[in-house]
A and B are shown apart, each in its own frame.
Chain A
Amino acid sequence: MTHPSNVIRILYCSHRSPESAGLIAEEIYKDFDISCFDWNRIDSINYEYDPEDYDIVFLEIPVQMPHELAESRINTIKHHAAVIRVHDSAYQKKVMQMCKGNTHLIIDNTLAQDQIIAIIHMLAHMKGNVSGGVPWVADALRESEQRYRQIVLAMAGWIWECGTDWIVTYSSENVKEYLGYDAEEITGRSIFSLLDEKCREEVATQLLEAAESESPIRDLEFWIDTAEGGLICVLISAEVKRNTHGILSGFRCVGKDITTQKTAEAALHRSNERLRELDKLKSEFLSTVSHELRTPIAIMGEGVALCLEEIVGPLNHKQRDLLEDTHQNVDRLSRLISDLLDISKIEAGRVVLRKVQFNIPSIIQQALDGFSSVAGQKNLEMRYEGPLSLIIYADPDKVRQIIDNLISNAIRFTAEGSITIILEDESEIVRCRVCDTGIGISKKDVKGLFVKFAQIGRVDGPGYKGTGLGLAIVKGLVEKHNGAISVESVPDQGSCFSFTLARMTPPGIGIVDYERQRLLSIQSTLKQSGYLTQIADTLNANEICKGIQLLAVAYNQEVDQWLEKETAFVESILIYDAGSLPEEHVLRLERWPNVTVAHNSDARRLHTRIQDLLMG
């Protein structure tokens, strides 16, 4: 059988009546130029035609057709690209097996006639391309290829494809701009022969993972050796290619050169590393210097103090006056060093809060008592307005430092009148205000007030001098407690500093101990610090693990088994009283990332250990 080369030959095998099959034929005749086709129909089992003579074979497998028969029909077209229509969708898988990996297109009978015709059109286009094709098909292809080329260039990306053997099957021509190779040099080579050794394994893993998860790959970085011997970084997005059976057949990828960006990133990373190193050095330097400074300052201070107290002999009026000035400045120097250390810790984010539950009015009272003599010297009245009991969960030392700083400022800038501390419970937060009747702060100065060493228009009175760091420290500490600080002030009338502290919930701790007495003693120690506790005398009580951050368990044999099942449910586990366990056993317990082992069972020591664990 000979055919003109510009004719697409279709063999249509169907069980349908010649009339019904003829409808499809008519449609195809209508859409295609009739001279392009040589159309045949077979609806009997006996083949009169050799499928090998046709470009497209359309095979319909009806529901009632015996499997053996279906298989023998499929086998006759095994080397051919065929469309196989399966009428029973449950049968589809079976048919797929019958195809034995040949690239047939399997469709089901839900496809409408026009869709089938569209498929035939598509195949006709493909065939036209392979065999030189009919003129109009070739034109259409040329046009679409041009369009595709333009898109590729407009995207300024390198497009390539590879099979599952990683051999590049296609590369866009602009690869030359990227790698310096011609597209022909790339095709046929394994993609890994182009990749820099360091990224080969990762690239393969990621591509295969993507193939398994069916998700497209985004932003995979390839380091590729260029023809000139350079190295460029290409950012790849890839789609998984599958054949008609849905089996992975390769990858289609688009690459963009991001070498410049990567080089900049690397430089940035290096300079960040350097900055971190410098920051660490700065902190270490500050800490060392402050220690080295403390001793000479202590010697000066103590020497002057011994003289001032006349322990080493009587002083005249002028000597006393000078020594008092000296003593004040030694004090100031020592405060400056403490403040510098504090602010550097705050800035480096190294402030650790030791949170416990405490009564904030008591802390305020202690602070007021501490300043009573200084305030008394200036004849200032000190008042507290607020509840006598208000329990918060915070770091009492830091809260005291905040309040001390604010009171100390208030006293410094107030010549007469009073200092009032007002405490208010605002359910989610507590608000504390330190108000004075002093010189106040102008609007202009309020802005820079919380900046370290802010030079504002307030002039210190005689005596106690500030360090210029106090309010910056206060702000840092308040923010560390998830609070905020603000100030309202009227010049010559007074200032009112207001800060808030978030009402935090103390962590819940579960304690499991088979010795009742010890259990209660540990519980009471933890309760004193405000922790919420739950207790049990056996690990079987799973209820205990609900809503707790840490579980403290006295060691017994149950613990080993329990850990195998339950560790993941609690953030942190402290196993105590494990002093008698051999070293290997302890190591075995500690291989769990959230488990810590303590040898003793002393309530106070456990308390410290638990605090450390909760701080992270």
Chain B
Amino acid sequence: MSEVRRILVVEDEMQFAKMVKMRLESVGYEVDVSGDAYSGTQKIIREAYDLVILDLMMPAGGGFTILERIRKFPNKADLPVIILTGKTIDDTVKNQARSLKVAHIFSKPYDAKEFLAAVAELIDN
């Protein structure tokens, strides 16, 4: 496919965001970074990303807050989302993620291979 796929990383730890961006760019994606839930939500609504990667705990609300807002927009209802978090992934997190149509949850630190495979699978679909 000739068209470049666009990914948004919403992550308040900028050093980590920088590395995720680097990793994704190394395999040819175009990556935007947003440092908080507010600007993240704005970007998702205005732009047309192929995939969004969300942190769960950030200033101005976590990934779930963003998802609750954007899922109300018909054109964002099925936008592929990956959660990348330092939070313990318990049943509450899993259930909430499932109900908000999150495709994958990765905990930090992630396995780069698995992460890239999940990204590729979502974008190619």
Contact = CB atoms under 8 A, between A and B. Distances in A.
Interface stretch (A239-247, A302-310, A429-437, A532-540): A302-310
Interface string B44-70: 000000000000010000000000000
B95 to A, nearest CB: 6
A334 interface: yes
Contacts of B88: 287, 290-291, 341
Contacts of B109: 294, 297-298, 301-302, 330, 334
Nearest to B16: A299
A291 B86 contact: yes
B16 A302 contact: yes
Interface string A277-299: 00000000001001110110111
A311 B23 contact: yes
A291 B87 contact: yes
Contacts of B57: 291
Of A292, A302, A311, A312, the most chain B CB neighbours within 10 A belong to A302
A142 interface: no
A605 interface: yes
Contacts of B23: 302, 306, 311
A298 B112 contact: no
Query: Main SS of the interface on chain A?
Result: helix
B15 interface: yes
Contacts of A614: none
A381 to B, nearest CB: 25
Interface in B95-121: 95, 98-99, 107-110, 112
Nearest to B99: A605
A352 interface: yes
B91 A352 contact: yes
Contacts of B110: 298, 302
B86 A294 contact: yes
Interface in B1-35: 13, 15-16, 19-20, 22-23, 26
Of B26, B86, B108, B109, the most chain A CB neighbours within 10 A belong to B109
Contacts of A302: 16, 19-20, 23, 109-110, 112
Contacts of A291: 57, 86-88
B26 A297 contact: no
Contacts of A309: 26, 112
Nearest to A311: B26
Contacts of A121: none
A47 B18 CA distance: 119
B86 A298 contact: yes
Contacts of A292: 86
Nearest to A300: B109
A200 to B, nearest CB: 46
B16 A295 contact: yes
A516 interface: no
Interface string A505-543: 000000000000000000000000000000000000000
A480 to B, nearest CB: 16
Contacts of A312: 22
Interface in A321-377: 330, 334, 341, 352, 354
Given A311-B22, A311-B23, A352-B91, A299 B15 contact: yes
A604 B98 CA distance: 10
A312 B88 CA distance: 31
A301 B15 CA distance: 12
B44 to A, nearest CB: 23
B109 to A, nearest CB: 4
Given A295-B86, A305-B112, A354 B91 contact: yes
B86 A303 contact: no
Contacts of A295: 13, 16, 86, 108
A23 B49 CA distance: 118
A608 interface: yes
A294 B87 CA distance: 8
Contacts of B13: 295, 299
Contacts of A294: 86, 107-109
B108 A306 contact: no
Interface in B59-91: 86-88, 91
B90 to A, nearest CB: 9
B116 to A, nearest CB: 11
Contacts of B86: 291-292, 294-295, 298
Nearest to A303: B19
Nearest to B84: A298
Contacts of A299: 13, 15-16, 19
Nearest to A354: B91
B87 to A, nearest CB: 6
B75 to A, nearest CB: 23
Of A290, A297, A298, A312, the most chain B CB neighbours within 10 A belong to A298
Contacts of A290: 88
A301 B106 CA distance: 15
Contacts of A297: 108-109
Contacts of A608: 95, 98
Nearest to B87: A291
Contact of B108 (A287, A298, A354): A298
A334 to B, nearest CB: 5
Contacts of A298: 16, 86, 108-110
Contacts of B112: 302, 305, 309
A294 B57 CA distance: 13
Contacts of A306: 19, 22-23, 26
23 contacts: A291-B57, A291-B88, A292-B86, A294-B108, A295-B16, A295-B108, A298-B86, A298-B109, A299-B16, A299-B19, A302-B23, A302-B110, A306-B19, A306-B22, A306-B23, A309-B26, A311-B22, A311-B23, A311-B26, A312-B22, A352-B91, A604-B98, A608-B95
Given A294-B107, A294-B108, A303-B19, 5 more contacts: A295-B13, A299-B19, A306-B19, A311-B23, A612-B91
